[in-house]
Amino acid sequence: MRFRVRSECKCANASEPSRWVETALLPKGIPGTAAVGLSCVWHNLEYMDCSWRPGENASSDTNYTLFYWFDGLKNHKKCNNYSMDRGRCIFNLSFPNVTNTYPAISILIRDDSEEIRPVCASKNPTTLVRPATPRRLTLSKVNDEIYVEWSESDTFPENCLSYEVKCRNGDTTQIIQVENNYTSIPSVDPNSKYTFQVRAKPKPECYSSKLSSDWSEEKSIGEKADSTFYLVLIVTIPLIVAVSTIILLVYLKRLKILILPPIPDPREILKRMFGEQNEDSQSCAKDDSANAYDRLIKEEEIHSLILTETPEYANSETENR
């Protein structure tokens, strides 16, 4: 805490006031043990999400506790919804009347031990506002125009949110600024597919926040590409190319044989010629020997016939004797 004091005369026009005299009252605790990096976001004017990091000199078993209060709140409140890492806490935050002007909120983070130095911060809620993601995105198409509509948040005052519409058609993406929860896209291609997303932003005249909501889920309208057709093309085209290549190679090989027949090897021709002559001589020799043998057999047969045959009159004379 810092204190400043100066003096001045009761008559304002009599003299200038004195210089400020300043003094500070340091908090208890070891330096470097206080929580650092405090960051808070007010989600959809419903709950505050605050996160921080432990001090560099704080022990691992330090348990920080968050308290908050603001003008109009009778007593300070303690945040009990801590995350597992003990560096984040979420608490409901709402004001009695929905208005564009909110009181500053004070946040204290400390530990029960006196060795841990506390830290206190004052936040302007209007700088921490983040709208919720738009829901129920609907698309409709009439002639050559697409109508886009989505639901509004019930927690924001009227006309305090603006919107961004992301329209994607093929490789083309455009961002459209919209003041209401609907818009239209004229002159669309009836044979194309259009994909839309929407996010909300606080208007500067209502809030000082620069935070935007997350993009909504994608919704598409128009002709959808058939993935099966592309899959068949991916499989069929390489197969056709492979088969065509094989057929072409076989055809070229046959065509090469017809145009450029193989040259015979002279050695093979000579071998064949001399081989046939040898075979002819051998066959002739075999034929001569076979003929001689046949003649010999015939002569023997003839000779045997001559020896064995006798005339009839010789036999009769023999018998008479």
At residue 99, the pLDDT reads 58
Query: Could you tell me the residue range of the domain that residue 148 belongs to?
Result: 131-222
Coarse DSSP helix, strand, coil percentages of the chain, rounded to the nearest 5 percent:
25, 30, 45
pLDDT tens digits, one per residue of 209-244: 999 999 999 999 876 545 565 677 788 888 888 888
Mean pLDDT, residues 143-161: 89
The predicted model scores a pTM of 0.62
At residue 14, the pLDDT reads 66
Note whether residue 9 is domain-resident.
Answer: yes
Q: Are residues 117 and 22 in the same domain?
A: yes
Q: Are residues 9 and 125 in the same domain?
A: yes
Token readout for 56 is 């560099």
pLDDT-derived band at 69 (thresholds 50, 70, 90) equals very high
pLDDT tens digits, one per residue of 85-137: 678 999 998 876 655 578 899 999 998 888 899 999 999 999 999 999 999 99
In three-state form (DSSP H/G/I as H, E/B as E, the rest C), the secondary structure along 161-228 is EEEEEEEEECCEEEEEEECCCEEEECCCCCCCEEEEEEEEEECCCCCCCCCCCCCCCCEEEECCCCHH
- Residue 138: which H helix or E strand, with range? strand 138-142
Burial of 231 (0-12, 13-18, 19+ CB in 10 A): exposed
The CATH number of residue 27's host domain is: 2.60.40.10
At residue 92, the pLDDT reads 92
Q: Are residues 8 and 112 in the same domain?
A: yes
Last residue of a domain, one of 110, 129, 148: 129
Note whether residue 292 is domain-resident.
Answer: no
Q: Are residues 83 and 135 in the same domain?
A: no
